[in-house]
Structure formats: C-alpha cells, structure tokens
C-alpha cells in the first residue's frame, strides 16, 4: 500500500531554512517565523510528521522525527508531503543549519 500524500501550497516565495538535529534524527523545515496557531499531525510510516500553520492557515513549518537522511527531497518524501510545482521553485535555495543556530534572514 502506497503512503498517503499530503499536498501543501506555499503562499510565499521565501526559501525555507532546514534546522537539523542529528542526535534526535529530527528536522524542521521552517518557511516562516510567525507564531504557530495550529499543528496538524500527519500519518507517515517512515517518521513522525507535524505541520505548523499560522492563524491565517499559512504554512509555518514541517517537523520530521525519525529521519535518517537530511536532504530537502528526502525530508519531504519521508513526510508524505508533495509540494505543488510552483512551490518547488521557492524551496530549491533552502539552507541547512544545525537546530538552535540563530537565523539570519
């Protein structure tokens, strides 16, 4: 049985920052620094996945726990999330940083 796919649309063109915690085998793909209003837990067989949204319903970030390989494509694949084609252009210049590193936007 194929894993369920979740399609998410980005409403901005800012590249994400991927925060990595290799000790916890976790990653957070951050699209915004706005306040989290709602968190959705997604069903994924490969890792634990949560998606954070702001009060307007815009994507803030995706957290993955239990990830062994840290590339944006592998993180999204493990989460079962497929970005719309136009959203892919916005995420290509993603940066990868260690979790807890101060962000320079």
Q: What is the pLDDT along the chain (105 residues), one digit of tens a residue?
A: 455 667 777 776 777 888 888 778 888 989 988 999 999 998 666 678 899 999 999 899 999 888 766 677 777 777 777 777 666 677 766 766 666 667 665
Q: In this structure, is residue 79 part of a structural domain?
A: yes
Q: In this structure, is residue 103 part of a structural domain?
A: no
Q: In this structure, is residue 93 part of a structural domain?
A: yes
Q: What was the pLDDT predicted at 56? A: 92
6: tokens are 């979740």
Q: Is 70 left (phi over 0), alpha (psi -120 to 50) or beta?
A: beta
Q: In this structure, is residue 26 part of a structural domain?
A: yes
Number of H helices, E strands in the chain: 2, 8
* Residue range of the domain that includes 37: 6-98
CA 66/CA 62 separation, integer angstroms: 13
Number of domains in the chain: 1
Q: What was the pLDDT predicted at 88? A: 65
- Tokens 């803030």 found at: 60
Is the entire prediction scored with pTM above 0.85?
no
Q: What was the pLDDT predicted at 61? A: 92
Q: In this structure, is residue 104 part of a structural domain?
A: no
**DSSP-derived 3-state class of residue 77:** helix
């Amino acid at each position: 049985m194929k894993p369920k796919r979740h399609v998410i649309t980005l409403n901005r063109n800012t590249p994400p920052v991927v925060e990595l915690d290799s000790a916890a085998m976790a990653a957070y793909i951050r699209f915004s620094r706005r306040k989290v209003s709602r968190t959705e837990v997604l069903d994924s067989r490969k890792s634990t996945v949560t998606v954070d949204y702001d009060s307007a319903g815009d994507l803030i970030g995706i957290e993955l726990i239990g990830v062994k390989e840290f590339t944006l494509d592998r993180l999204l694949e493990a989460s079962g999330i497929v970005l719309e084609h136009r959203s892919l252009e916005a995420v290509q210049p993603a940066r990868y940083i260690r979790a807890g590193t101060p962000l320079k936007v």
